């Protein structure tokens, strides 16, 4: 019986170093198949979790646009001065603040608009489009700007 005491044997009695016992024959076919199946499930899970980078960048641009529009509306209410926006190649100018898209070919419609200083806005939607993908940022006039899902369109 091996113990932690110095000089204790780390192998069963009767085995010479370099000899293999009858029970150390490797892995069985069932064990190998189980490992392969687990690796396949893990690979499938990872591949499904990875999102399209263009879609992710468009989502981030839409979130930034919603945050900038909410901040600009708060500034318009505070100062009492309307704030306008103008689309430009590769971005948008909101008041005096430029906002650049993560992809140069992202487009926004409408191209111009104004945020009035009143607390209630008219219903407003801006569409960000990048190739075949699009995101709509909007407000119903009462709630803050947010990304609208397809059901809300």
Question: Using alpha carbons only, what angle is made at residue 71 by residues 66 and 72, rounded to the nearest 5 degrees?
Answer: 95
Q: Is the pTM of this model over 0.85?
A: no
Number of compact structural domains in the chain: 1
- In tens, the pLDDT along 1-18 reads 566 666 665 555 555 555
What backbone phi and psi angles, to 5 degrees, belong to 126?
A: -120, 135
- Is 97 among the domain residues? yes
Is residue 66 one of the residues assigned to a domain? yes
Domain CATH code at residue 57: 3.55.40.10
Q: Is residue 87 part of a domain?
A: yes
Helices (H), 15-120: 29-49, 53-79
- Name the residue range of residue 86's domain: 53-152
3, part of any domain? no
d(CA 147, CA 143): 12
pLDDT digits (tens, 9 = 90+) for 69-89: 999 999 999 999 999 999 988
């Amino acid at each position: 019986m091996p113990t932690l005491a110095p000089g204790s044997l780390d192998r069963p009695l009767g085995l010479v170093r370099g000899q293999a016992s009858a029970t150390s024959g490797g892995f069985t076919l069932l064990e190998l198949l189980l490992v392969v199946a687990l690796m396949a499930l893990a690979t499938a899970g990872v591949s499904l979790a990875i999102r399209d980078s263009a879609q992710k960048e468009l989502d981030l641009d839409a979130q930034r646009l919603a945050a900038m529009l909410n901040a600009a509306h708060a500034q318009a209410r505070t100062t009492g001065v309307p704030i306008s926006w103008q689309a430009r190649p590769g971005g948008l100018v909101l008041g005096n603040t430029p906002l650049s898209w993560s992809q140069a070919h992202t487009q926004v419609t409408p191209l111009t608009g104004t945020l009035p200083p009143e607390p209630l806005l008219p219903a407003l939607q801006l569409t960000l489009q990048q190739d075949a993908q699009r995101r709509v940022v909007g407000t119903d006039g009462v709630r803050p700007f947010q990304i609208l899902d397809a059901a809300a369109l």
